[in-house]
Amino acid sequence: MLKTEITLEEMVPILKLLGDRTRLTIFSLLRTKQACVCELVEALEMSQPSISQHLRKLRDAKLVKEERRGQWIYYSINEETTHYLLVEHVLKFVPDQPDLIEKMKQAKGC
């Protein structure tokens, strides 16, 4: 069962993480489908190390989870985190990113 109450002290670091445009965009893209780093690199036109750093921060905060498939790691939103309800509410205000979603879907893959 998800925790429905969150303290201000718990909210601040989560909102700071999502206050970064790139991390918020990554998170918004992951709500449409799970993705590997190379798909996000293609969509956001950023370097692999930069995307990986953003994903690491989101993973360390338990906002995203990873699944290894062979040599590739796929990222998705962690709906089991105690902060998911807060994040889900924030995402309601994030506009859809159809152009970036299309770029991500057309990525050649890792």
Q: What is the largest CA-CA distance in the chain?
A: 42
How would residue 52 be classed by pLDDT, with cut points 50, 70 and 90?
very high
- pLDDT (tens digit per residue) in 87-97: 888 888 888 88
Contact present, 40 and 100 (Cβ < 8 Å):
no
Domains, the chain, ranges and CATH?
8-106 (1.10.10.10)
| Dihedrals phi, psi of 82, to nearest 5 degrees | -70, -15
> What pTM does this model have?
0.84
In this prediction, residue 110 carries a pLDDT of 64
**Closest of 59, 94, 64, 92 to residue 78, by C-alpha:** 64
How would residue 82 be classed by pLDDT, with cut points 50, 70 and 90?
confident
Q: Across the chain, what does the average pLDDT equal? A: 88
Tokens of 70: 């062979």
pLDDT at 42 over 80: yes
| Strand blocks (E) in the chain | 35-36, 64-69, 72-77
In this prediction, residue 5 carries a pLDDT of 75
- pLDDT (tens digit per residue) in 60-71: 999 999 999 998
How would residue 48 be classed by pLDDT, with cut points 50, 70 and 90?
very high
Mean pLDDT (whole number) for 42-52: 95
Mean pLDDT (whole number) for 36-52: 94
